[in-house]
Each structure stands twice: as structure tokens, then as C-alpha cells.
Structure 1
Amino acid sequence: MENKMNRFGLKRLLAVLAVAFACVSMWGCGDDLERKWGPIEWSSPRTVGGVIGFIDDSLVIVSDWRHWSQEQDGFVYDGGTISGIGHQGLRVYNYRVQEEGPCWTDSLDNANTNGFTYLVGQLSDSIVWGGNGNNSFSFWKLGQKPVVMNVTVSKDGCNATFKHEKMRTWLNGKILLKGPLGAGGDSCQYAVLDTIVKTLTFKRLDANLKWIEKCDDVRAWGDDVYCLMRKKNNWSVLLSVGNIVVDSIEFDENRKYAVYPALFAGSMLHMGDYVCSIANDKIMRNPYVKSLSDLMFVNADGSVVKY
């Protein structure tokens, strides 16, 4: 296990999510492969992935991993080389002020031979989720080990399911898996993960939630449903609470392709190339950071932070 911490401390990094789940740790290692074929060769240095999410108005979560390979030569089988990724990890950087490197890192000791990834996306300020794309999910909270939950899958009023790509906090302490909200027919539009009874139920929107069909992204805070929607007619992004528009942010036409998609990112908003905060149901332009590729961020004053 690799672990590095500086003056920021875990206390600043962690925002507690009140989601109760009973699950078992499954971060493991590659012992089975090594017993069967011999040593695994690991690449160095680590490969830096992309932005997973944002903790607050100065800290960003980034993924990383290492590639591995192994010769499959034995008495019965001479099959060449197999390979994959493992030692999946997280890094936390300051994206407002240039520093020498990450202010926090952590990684796993695993070969990831079963197609399971721990780095799909952000659930909350401090939790990254992953899974196998089927009925097994992981929850990795910064400063802790990932935990894995196997669930029972069912469908309620829909037929065609969808690939799990976005998880959001939802009503009644549950978790939303966002699907094609505008899908017609009997296609499933979203799913609800109940971490207490360990069930994942695919659904179609009922009358109370049908309004979120138009949302680019959606989540719950407490008893309220929040929606982000991009309007093409004036290149703006609207923030709605319970189907009532409470605020918006406008971009000029030169930036129209840079504000899509409009996403919730923990307690922040990640709208294409831009990162904004939200407070008291208002979109805050401060910080107003343009997020670019290769871990480069441009602040509103033009200063550049790059890693």
C-alpha cells in the first residue's frame, strides 16, 4: 500500500457521506496468478489517468494505475503473455495553487484480473465508486480501503437496462444510477441502489420525477432533487430544484462546446472545461476555473496550475 500525506491532512479531505452499507473488503492482490504462472512484471512509473472528481474549491481527485504482464509458460501450457492493469490508485492535487505534486496519494496492491475497476467515477466529495458493470460495486473513501458490495438486480416497469456510468446521491439515503433519462418505450431510464438490502432496481420515471427527463445530470441533496440542464438557445446552464429554475450561468457562443456536459462533481459543478461551486442554490463563479487536459487548470486571473 502506497500512502503519502502532507500538511493538508485527512480531516480537510474527507466529507462524510451518510450512506450505510454492509459489505466486505475485496481489494486483494495477484497471489493466484503468481502461484499459477510465476512472478508478475509491473511497469514503472505509474500511469496517470484523468480527473475523477472535485472535493472542494481547491482540491481535485485524479486516478492512476500500473500496467502488468506475465509469461504463461508451464509444463502443460505455453501460451505467451497476458497483461492488464492493477495497483489502481487515487491522487489529490491542489488545482488553484501550483505545488510540487499531489498532496495525498493512495493505491491498492492488486492485479485486477477479474475485470473489476475501482475508478469509474465520483459518488460524493470523498468517495469514488467502481464495479464490474453488472451486479458488483465498490466504494472507495479517501483514507480508507475500498469495500465491495454484491447486489441483487431487478427491473420495475422497464425492460432494456443500461451501462452504469454515473452514480449520484439520491433520496432516502439511496444511490441513483443515472441512465438515459429521456429514453422512451419500456427502456429503463435510471436505477436505484439500496445499500441496506443490497438491491439494484432499474426503473422508469414516475409522474413525480418525469420532469428530470430534460436534465443533463441529476442528484439529491436531502429531500430535494437538483438538476443541471444545458440550454443551446443562449448557451447557458440552468440549475433547477424540484423542477423550479433557481439559477443559471451563461457562456458566450465561443464557449458553447466547452460547457458540455453539465455535471455534478461532489459539492462542485463541472461544466465541460469549467469548474464552479454551488452555495445556497446559486452557481458561484468564484472559483471560476477552466479545466484543461493533461492536468492543467487555468484560474480566472489567468494563472496556470499544471502537474
Structure 2
Amino acid sequence: MKNVTNFVAGIVLALVCGGFAGCTDVDFHWSENRSNAKVVGFVDDSLVMVGDYRYWEEITDEWNGGYSDIEGFGHERLCVYNYRVQEDGPRWCDSLSSESATGMFGMKDQGSSTSAGQMTDSVIWAIRSSNTISLWKIGEKVHELKLSKLFDGCSGEFVVASVKQWFDDKFIVRGDKSLISDGCQYAVLDTVARTVTYKRLDENLKWLQKCDDVRAWGEDVYCIVLKENEESLVVKNKEEFIDAPFPFRIGGFWGNVMKLGSRLCLINHDSIECSDVSWFGGLEFKSEDGRILSY
């Protein structure tokens, strides 16, 4: 009689666990440490934006002996550090509450890649889908904009690689090689109207096809042309060449800061002034006197 009772109790327990999943044991926990910190932008000639995130693990023990172990990452965090003076920690930090990664620093959950970068001196961007852009400004929460797509004299989209300042408080959007493509070569993002208009370069802008990076300051267009032999150029408005303080072969615009080689510089109309700090990547900066600043 006792064996029959135990058998019936087992069947009841199995039905309860199977029907309501009440006997499943789930252990979810976040890593204590943050991971994969990287520079995502520069605020000015002394402050740098750094992004990182936390990994999580979820272990599930099923009532029937099944077992699963999945991992992911989220809680992305944006911090601001001083890269000219060694300090104990960040000037400011804020983190997102989402368990799933939003892609703000170029990664989505499960390791798939997404487009992301610096948009202005205090805003970073990420493309989560073909018609949505996420913007994270220092001191604010992430804003998601649903975009309407327009096509002006061309057809076909491109994978977004850059979103930078353009005329009339708008932004120029381009792909890695879109400026020299046969289809739409760039787009103009209007965050107020929430539109992105794909275009081809007109006669006044065709010179941008030689540029590796481009943005506008006021009514002027600035362009960096990279060459392997360290004879790269900084060009303003098609035919004005701005003398760089030294030869370089890698470079680009990071907000209002321009990186030439390993040096961080500011551009003032027709002149370039570089700080005494070098950045070779990672989270270490080196001053001319050999001091290392690390975060």
C-alpha cells in the first residue's frame, strides 16, 4: 500500500511540475565585475567617454533532470574620465537597467555586432534596427528614435558606419565605402523631424569621395584623407589644406576632437593644436614626460 501511495504521489508531483513549472530551479546572477571597457568618444581636450557592461548567467535545473546554462550581457554603463590627469575614478557614470544589451557600444546580446559610434561631443549613437537609432547623451537616459526613410534621387541603403555633425543641426550618415558606391552615397539625419534622407553627392560635394572621414563645423566641411605613407591630409572645403603638426597615416573625428596618429588634437578653423597626450588604444594614455594614465 505504501508503494502505491508513493507512486501516486510521484505522478501528482510530475503533473504539477510539468503543468506549472513550479519545481524548476532557476539561478540567475550578474558578474561582480564589469567587462570589455572601451573608449567610445571624447568630450573635449581632457575628458573621454568609456563604455562597459556586465555579464550574467542563468542556470536552470528542470524537475525532470534537464539542465541549461545560458549567458548574456547587459547593464551597459557610460562613464566620463579625465585622460590628462590621473584620478581615482570617473567623473560621472550611469548604467542601463536592461538585462539584454542594447548595442550602444557596438555589441548586441549573444555576441552579434551592431553599428555604433560618437555623434557629437556628448552623444553616442547605435543602430538597433534599420529604422531605429538610439542616442545616449551624457547626463541623460537613452532616447530611441523611430525614423522615416526618404530617398532623394537614389535607391538602396547601406550599413551605417558613421553619424557625424552636418549643416543646419543635422547629421551626415555614411557607410564604410558608401561615398564611392554606385547607389545612395550618404544620408542626412534630421533628429527633429525623425527622418533619414538617402542621397547621392551633388557637384559641390563630389570631392568627399576621397575622404576617409568627414564632418561639418558651422558652414565648413572638414575631411581627413588617409594615406599609407604618412602623407595623410586634413582638408577644408575641397581645396583648403590644413597643415598637420606631424605626419600621420591613421586618424578620424571623435566629436570635437580629432585623432591624428596617436595624438589627440583640436581644430580651430585653419590650424590644428594637439595635446601632449598620446592614445594608442585601450584605456591607457601617455603624456610626453612618460607618465601613464590608466583606467
Q: TM-score, normalised by structure 2?
A: 0.79
Contact 1:216 1:228 in 2 (8 A): yes
Please state whether the residue corresponding to 2:278 is helix, strand or coil.
strand
Q: Which residue of 2 aligns with 1:11?
A: none
Contact 1:238 1:245 in 2 (8 A): no
Contact 2:286 2:292 in 1 (8 A): yes
1:176 aligns with 2:172: yes
Contact 1:133 1:164 in 2 (8 A): no
Q: Which residue of 2 aligns with 1:14?
A: none
Opposite residue 181 of structure 2, the aligned amino acid is G
Opposite residue 137 of structure 1, the aligned amino acid is I
From 26, 37, 42, give the equivalent of 1:49: 37
Deviations 1:233-257 (A, max 9, x none): 5x234222211324121645xxx5x
Q: Which residue of 2 aligns with 1:135?
A: 131
Deviations 1:69-95 (A, max 9, x none): 32466689x672333221111111111
Please identify the structure whose Cα radius of gyration is greater: 2
Q: Which residue of 2 aligns with 1:110?
A: 98
Q: Which residue of 1 aligns with 2:112?
A: none
Q: Which residue of 2 aligns with 1:284?
A: 273
Q: Which residue of 2 aligns with 1:297?
A: 285
The change in CA–CA distance for 1:251 and 1:236 in structure 2 (over 3 A counts) is farther
The change in CA–CA distance for 1:39 and 1:281 in structure 2 (over 3 A counts) is farther
What 5-or-longer segments of structure 2 have no aligned partner?
Answer: 1-24, 106-115
Contact 2:53 2:76 in 1 (8 A): yes
1:119-134 mapped onto 2 (5 Å cutoff): 119=105, 120-134=116-130
Deviations 1:208-250 (A, max 9, x none): 11111111111111222221222445x2342222113241216
Deviates more, 1:135-144 or 1:94-103: 94-103
Opposite residue 124 of structure 1, the aligned amino acid is T
Greater relative CO (CA pairs within 8 A, separation 6+) = 1
The change in CA–CA distance for 1:152 and 1:98 in structure 2 (over 3 A counts) is same
Contact 2:179 2:186 in 1 (8 A): no
Deviations 1:116-157 (A, max 9, x none): 312321111111112314211111111111111011223333
Contact 1:96 1:305 in 2 (8 A): yes
Q: Which residue of 2 aligns with 1:199?
A: 195
Whole-Å separation in 1 of the counterparts to 2:86 and 2:97: 30
Contact 2:75 2:99 in 1 (8 A): yes
Please state whether the residue corresponding to 2:87 is helix, strand or coil.
coil
Contact 2:163 2:171 in 1 (8 A): yes
Runs of 4+, deviation exceeding 6 Å: 73-76
From 43, 49, 62, give the equivalent of 2:50: 62
Whole-Å separation in 1 of the counterparts to 2:281 and 2:222: 28
Q: Which residue of 1 aligns with 2:21?
A: none
The CA deviation at 1:268 is 0.8
The change in CA–CA distance for 1:39 and 1:163 in structure 2 (over 3 A counts) is farther
Q: TM-score, normalised by structure 1?
A: 0.76
Please state whether the residue corresponding to 1:212 is helix, strand or coil.
helix
The CA deviation at 1:165 is 2.1
Deviations 1:249-307 (A, max 9, x none): 1645xxx5xx41x211111102342211222331113x142212331111233322122
Whole-Å separation in 1 of the counterparts to 2:78 and 2:223: 28
Q: Which residue of 2 aligns with 1:236?
A: 231
Q: Size of the alignment, in residue pairs?
A: 261
Please state whether the residue corresponding to 1:124 is helix, strand or coil.
coil
Q: Which residue of 1 aligns with 2:244?
A: 249
| Cα RMSD for the two superposed structures | 2.6
Q: Which residue of 2 aligns with 1:221?
A: 217
